[in-house]
Chains A and B, each alone.
Chain A
Amino acid sequence: MNLKQKALLKSLWVFHMSTGSCNNCDIEIIDCLTPRHDIERFGMVLVGSIKHADVLLVTGSVTRKCIPRIKRIYEQMPKPGFVVAMGECSLSRGMYINSYNCPLPLDKVIPVDVYVPGCPPRPEAMIAGIVKLIEKIKATSEGKK
C-alpha cells in the first residue's frame, strides 16, 4: 500500500453530482452531513469541485443533457478516483427505463465502483456503501502488493 492509497482510506472527499434525480437522494446525502448521521467524523467532506474530490457520487437517472457533462466531469476527476452510483435511478434507471430522455444507465456511461440501491437509500445505506468502497480500496491495494 503506497502513501496515496493509505491517505485515501482516511478521508474520502466526495463530489456530488445530480443527473436528473428527483432530489430525494440528494437530500439524503446532505442528511448524512447533519448531526444525526454526521459522516464528517469519518473524514468525509462534500466538496465543491471535482478537482478536489476522490469520489464522484452520482444520483439520478442519467438524462440526455447530462451525458456529455458526466463524461467531462469523470475525465476531470484526479485519479485514483472512484464512482458511487446512488439510488435506483442511476443503477438501472428505475421507473424511467421507458423514458425518452433517459437512454442509458450510469454504468454504460462511466465505470462504477459501488452501487447503493434504494429509492431513496437511507443515510445508513449510504454510509454502508462508502464503507464497502473503503474495503474495496483496501482489498485492491493489498492485492497489488
Chain B
Amino acid sequence: MAKTIVPIGPYHPLQEEPEFFSLMVEGERVVDIDVQIGYNHRGIEKISEMKNFDQSTFAVERICGICSTSHPFAYTRAVEDIIQAEVPLRAQYIRTIIAEGERVHSHLLWLGLAGHFLGYNTVFMWAWKLREEILDVMEILSGNRNNYAMFKPGGVRRDIKAEDIPVVLKKLDSIVPTLTMIKKAVMDDPVLQARTKNVGVLTKEKAIDYCALGPTARSSGIAIDVRKDSPYEAYDKVEWDMIVLKNGDVFDKVVLRILETFESIRILRQCLKNLPGGKIDMQITDIPPGEGIGTHEAPRGESFHYVLSDGTNRPARHKIRAPTFMNMPTYKATVVGETISDAAIILAAIDPCYCCTERMAVRDTKGKMLYNGEGLVKLSQEKTEKIREKLGRC
C-alpha cells in the first residue's frame, strides 16, 4: 500500500505550541514519524550569558511557563554547586513547597489536556477547575499565578507567612476529595480504558534505549527520580513514595500522574506543617571561577543545568537540558504501528514541552560545526538587518 504523509502543524488545534509532525501512514497505521521543531527557539542560553547570576534566574524561569520553578531550581542549584553553598533549612523547605505546588498544577493541566485530546471534555473542565485552586495556593505563597520568581542563588526571595499556612492547608484539604473523585472516574471509566489501555506502549527495554526520563520512564517500570536517587532540599526530610508502574501504555501514564499528584500534596502538607524557622537566604558576595551542575525533577522528568563561571558576575556558559529533549525520541517507539486516531493522545502522553526543548547548532552534513555562539549572533544581526530592509521598517 502506498504511504501517505499526514502533516500535523505547525499551527494545529491539537496543541497550543507550534510544532510540526509528519506522520507517514499506510491506511490507518502509522509507519513512521518525523518531528520538526524550532518554532520556539529564543536563544535563552545566550541571553543567560548576557545577564548576571541573579538576573539569569528570571531568564531561565521564562524557558517554560509550566516548569517555571524547575528551571530556576536546577539553575540555582548549579550556581550553589560552584560556590559549595549550603542553603538555609527554611529556604530548602520553601523551595520544596513551590516545586511540589508546581507539580500538582502541571499534572492537573496535563490530565485536563489528555481528556480533551480523547474527546472527554468533562475531565478537561474538572481538572482545570481544580487547577485553579492550586493556582490560588501558589498566589498566596508567592504572589503570582505562574511565574513565581521565588528563587535566587543562595535561598528564596520571599518568605511564607505563618498566617498563610492554615489557609493553604485548608485549600489543599479541599482539593483532595475532588481529586479522588477524578481518579475514580478516570480509572473506572470503560471508554477511557478502551482508548488508552495497551495504546502507545513503551516497553522497559525501549525506555532504557531511548533514555526516557520522569513519568514517561516511571510508567514503563524504571524507578528513576532525582528526588529519590540523590535527595536534595527537603525531599529526604519528608515521607513520600516514588510511583512506578509497569505497562508503559497511555493509561499507566495517566494513572501515574494522578497518583503523583497525591504524593505531591502529601509532601506539601508535611513541608508546611514542619516548616522550620530561621533565615531564608544567605549572602553570596562573589562567585569564584568553576563549573557547577544542578538537577531537579521537573514534572516531566529530570531538568539539568550546567553553569560555567569565569570569576565575573555573568555565567560564561550556561547549558540547559530539558526533559522533553530526552522523552521526544520515544515517539519512534510508541506511535509507530498504532492507528492514526490514537496518534494525538500518544504524542501528548509524554507531556511534551517544546519551548523547553528548542535548541540550535548549525552543522554541515559531515557533522563539522559551522557556527559557534558568536558566529550565530553575527549571522542573526546581519539577517535582522536584511529582514528589516525587506519589510521596509526600522
Q: Which residues of A contact B (CB under 8 A)?
A: 16-31, 34-36, 46-50, 60-61, 63-67, 69, 73, 94-96, 98-104, 108-109, 119-120, 122
B50 to chain A, nearest CB (A): 6
B41 CB contacts on chain A under 8 angstroms: 20, 63, 65, 101
A48 CB contacts on chain B under 8 angstroms: 12-13
How many residues from B make CB contacts under 8 Å with A?
50
Chain A, Cβ-Cβ closest to B386: A103
Chain B, Cβ-Cβ closest to A37: B132
- Cβ of B383 and Cβ of A20 under 8 Å apart? no
Chain B, Cβ-Cβ closest to A72: B11
- Cβ of A63 and Cβ of B147 under 8 Å apart? no
Chain B, Cβ-Cβ closest to A122: B145
For chain B residues 368-394, which have a beta carbon within 8 Å of chain A? Answer: 376-377, 379-381, 383-384, 387-388, 391, 393
B143 CB contacts on chain A under 8 angstroms: none
Q: For the complex, is B120 an interface residue (Cβ under 8 Å from A)?
A: no
**A-B contacts, 14 listed (Cβ < 8 Å):** A20-B40, A21-B65, A22-B355, A27-B65, A34-B132, A35-B125, A35-B128, A60-B40, A61-B42, A65-B39, A67-B387, A100-B380, A102-B43, A104-B393
Contacts A34-B125, A35-B125, A63-B42: A28 and B380 contacting too (C-beta < 8 A)? no
CA distance A111 to B36 in the complex (A): 29
Chain A, Cβ-Cβ closest to B373: A100
B18 CB contacts on chain A under 8 angstroms: 17-20, 66, 69
CA distance A49 to B62 in the complex (A): 28
- Residues 8-24 of chain B, each 1 if its beta carbon lies under 8 Å from chain A, else 0: 00111100111000000
CA distance A50 to B383 in the complex (A): 29
- Cβ of B355 and Cβ of A23 under 8 Å apart? yes
Contacts A23-B65, A24-B68: A101 and B391 contacting too (C-beta < 8 A)? no
- Cβ of A23 and Cβ of B16 under 8 Å apart? yes
Q: For the complex, is B58 an interface residue (Cβ under 8 Å from A)?
A: yes
Chain A, Cβ-Cβ closest to B360: A101
Q: For the complex, is B59 an interface residue (Cβ under 8 Å from A)?
A: yes
B62 CB contacts on chain A under 8 angstroms: 22, 24, 94-95, 119
B66 CB contacts on chain A under 8 angstroms: 23-24, 27
- Cβ of A100 and Cβ of B377 under 8 Å apart? yes
- Cβ of B147 and Cβ of A101 under 8 Å apart? no
B112 CB contacts on chain A under 8 angstroms: 34
Contacts A27-B109, A95-B58: A103 and B355 contacting too (C-beta < 8 A)? no
Chain A, Cβ-Cβ closest to B63: A22
B58 CB contacts on chain A under 8 angstroms: 95
Give 4 nearest A-B pairs by CB, closest first.
A24-B65, A100-B380, A48-B13, A34-B128
CA distance A69 to B46 in the complex (A): 25
CA distance A98 to B384 in the complex (A): 12
The listed residue (B39, B128, B145) touching A66 by CB distance below 8 A is B39
A142 to chain B, nearest CB (A): 32
Q: 11 additional contacts, CB 8 Å, given A23-B65, A95-B62, A103-B388? A: A23-B64, A28-B145, A30-B128, A34-B131, A36-B129, A65-B41, A66-B39, A103-B380, A103-B383, A104-B387, A119-B62
Q: For the complex, is B47 an interface residue (Cβ under 8 Å from A)?
A: yes
- Cβ of A65 and Cβ of B38 under 8 Å apart? yes
B63 CB contacts on chain A under 8 angstroms: 22
- Cβ of B65 and Cβ of A22 under 8 Å apart? yes
